[in-house]
Amino acid sequence: MKKILYTISTVLTAIFLFWPIMYTVISRRITLPGNPLIQAVVGVLLFGTIAYVTFEERETEETQELTVS
């Protein structure tokens, strides 16, 4: 479940990263309320935080064998 949530939040973070650019194309067809810059910042912070929290690092055999001595 964490992997799916991580994938979705990563994709949404990427979308909101370019939201002000996409907003100009979308707003020609549909009028959306609000400032696109504020929407982009909130989206990146929200979904970026979710992606950061749900990220799980995979341990390989090399990292398991290394020890500090």
Mean pLDDT, range 5-25, rounded to an integer? 93
SS3 13: helix
| pTM for this prediction | 0.74
Confidence bin at 10 (pLDDT 50/70/90): very high
Amino acid 55: pLDDT: 93
20-67 tens-digit pLDDT: 998 888 877 787 788 999 999 999 999 999 999 999 877 666 656 666
Q: Which two tokens stand for residue 10?
A: 């990563």
| Residue closest to 10 by CA, chosen among 47, 45, 40 | 47
Q: Are 19 and 39 in contact, with CB atoms under 8 Å apart?
A: yes
Q: Are 42 and 66 in contact, with CB atoms under 8 Å apart?
A: no
Beta carbons within 10 angstroms of residue 9's beta carbon = 20
